[in-house]
A and B are shown apart, each in its own frame.
Chain A
Amino acid sequence: MTDLEELFHDAAALADQAATPTGDVMARLHSARTAYRRRRRAMFAIPVAAAAVVAVPVALSLAPRGDGASLVPADGGSVVAATPSPPGCTASGGAVCIPAPARSPASEPTNGAATTCSYRQTSPDAATLRYRQTTAGRKVGLPPATPGALPVGATLHTIRGDISIALRPETACTVNSFVHLVEHHYYDDTPCFRLTTAGIYVLQCGDPSATGSGGPGYAYDDEHLSGTTYPAGTVAMANSGPDSNGSQFFLVYKDTQLDASYTVFGHITSGLDVVTEIAAKGSTPASDGQPNVAVDVQSVTIG
């Protein structure tokens, strides 16, 4: 499928929001059939009624035309393309990744107490779209722009054991997005697809396509990067450049030197040993590749 075909497919699926439960369809058809027959009988029996039916649209056509501009964003540029990968990115092909530790530090200051979040629909995410077509329940939409009361914790239930995370309240937009994805079961049955065991020590998860290029179909800004460090237990968002957070995140299992480019939104409170054991089994290719033991996040619970 081309991007345009995927966009048509996805746009058409919006109709499902008004969907009649499938079981009701035949019942509705039967009543529609009865109404149709009644209409036809009425038309034949009372021509005046038919004339009245015709007259209604004519009257309506005098109503003023609606304003069609409001659906298109006023700035015309809100639908952003994916940010290009930074030069230090070690993965190929625009993958969301953690770059090699040699990048110059990000100078971006923190954005203070964010009460409104900007979640930007990216050009339809091919990996996500493909996933949506084959697996039910991954249509996530955009998170609410104004985070409500945010939970303080989450637990990843993996087939290797549970990993509990304390969520960082300062990164409200990131936590808000994470919770949104959890609530939409976006992370259910997704693999942790990347393990690094040299230079940086992380397990990367949260891409249903398991390619490192998948995302939820939206992107949002980094939060509180200034002075960030990545000690063991850190949970942070993977990205493909500044302000390109999506769904992928990583768990640091051993103190790691990284540029302050990855929004830390939590730390592991229990289950670090689960990650350490996974790391001990190594990856293929060695030092940066798929974990040698399969790691699937079966579900995530909040609170």
Chain B
Amino acid sequence: VPVPFEDYVASRFRALCRLAFLLTGDWAEAEDLVQDALVRCERRWPKIAADDPHAYVRRAVVNGAANWRRRRRTELPLSEGLVPAGDHTATTDARLMLIAALRQLPTDQRQVLVLRFFEQLSEAETAQALGIAPGTVKSRTSRALDALRSAGVTAISNRTEIVR
């Protein structure tokens, strides 16, 4: 049974905003982007809902973020809009470091990281979502992880602290 558009929005809106936020590094922009994507999808919802709507909408958000990135790349306020006002301790926050590091990555590398580690897609699923070859996913992921590592994101090689 296809999920009604309203139900889909109610259950996925927040998750989509989080996805868009990782892709853009700007939460106000993230909401706008998701709204745009959803408005576009609504017009063809019966078709979209018939077959894995989330994959379709996710793709719309990823593409929307890429276009946004292309438009705005040279004037991104990299240090603004992220740190809540007055929170001067937040510069050491691992989450903010990750967001900042993601913003420095080329769009294609950021996309594979977000799909692999946030959406938790496999290499094959990521390849399908982005319309690229699985081998490309692998090499982009590896390059992007190197970049994150040199940006000081510590969680990458640090897998020993998982509590049993």
Contact = CB atoms under 8 A, between A and B. Distances in A.
Question: Does B bind A?
Answer: yes
Interface of A: 1-20, 22, 25-26, 28-29, 32-33, 36, 57, 60-63, 65-73, 76, 78-79, 81-82, 93-94, 119-121, 123-127, 130, 141-142, 144-145, 209, 211, 213-214
A220 B163 CA distance: 21
Given A26-B6, A81-B154, A121-B93, A14 B27 contact: yes
Given A12-B22, A123-B161, A60 B89 contact: no
B3 interface: no
B132 interface: no
B9 interface: yes
Interface stretch (B36-44, B57-65, B123-131): B36-44
A94 B93 CA distance: 22
Contacts of B159: 2-3
Contact of A73 (B71, B92, B98, B161): B92
B104 to A, nearest CB: 6
A66 B79 contact: yes
Nearest to B24: A15
Contacts of A36: 36, 39-40
Given A14-B27, A211-B163, A4 B89 contact: no
A6 B155 contact: yes
A97 B9 CA distance: 45
A152 B27 CA distance: 39
A122 to B, nearest CB: 8
B71 A71 contact: no
A15 B155 contact: no
Question: Which interface class (under 10, 10 to 19, 20 to 34, 35 or more) fits B?
Answer: 35 or more
A94 B161 contact: yes
Contacts of B28: 18
Nearest to A146: B88
Contacts, number: 187
22 contacts: A4-B156, A5-B117, A7-B155, A12-B19, A15-B17, A16-B14, A29-B38, A61-B73, A63-B74, A65-B74, A66-B80, A67-B78, A67-B79, A71-B79, A71-B96, A72-B151, A82-B161, A124-B155, A126-B162, A141-B87, A145-B89, A211-B163
A213 to B, nearest CB: 5
A212 to B, nearest CB: 9
B109 to A, nearest CB: 14
B138 interface: no
Given A16-B18, A17-B84, A33-B42, A8 B98 contact: yes
Nearest to B78: A68
B32 to A, nearest CB: 8
Contacts of B120: 1, 5
Contacts of B90: 141-142
B153 interface: yes
Interface in B74-128: 74-80, 82-84, 87-101, 103-104, 113-114, 117-118, 120
Contacts of A76: 152
A141 B31 CA distance: 23
Contacts of A26: 6, 9-10
A68 B104 contact: yes
A142 B32 CA distance: 29
B163 A22 contact: no
A301 to B, nearest CB: 25
B88 A145 contact: yes
A78 B92 CA distance: 6
A11 B95 contact: yes
B30 interface: yes
Contact of B35 (A15, A19, A28, A119): A28
A11 B99 contact: yes
A121 B92 contact: yes
A32 B35 contact: yes
A15 B39 contact: no
A9 B17 CA distance: 12
B56 interface: no
Contacts of A213: 163
Contact of B97 (A22, A72, A130, A145): A72
Given A10-B95, A73-B152, A79-B94, 16 more contacts: A2-B155, A7-B98, A8-B117, A12-B22, A14-B21, A16-B14, A19-B17, A22-B14, A29-B9, A32-B36, A36-B39, A66-B78, A67-B78, A73-B97, A124-B155, A141-B90
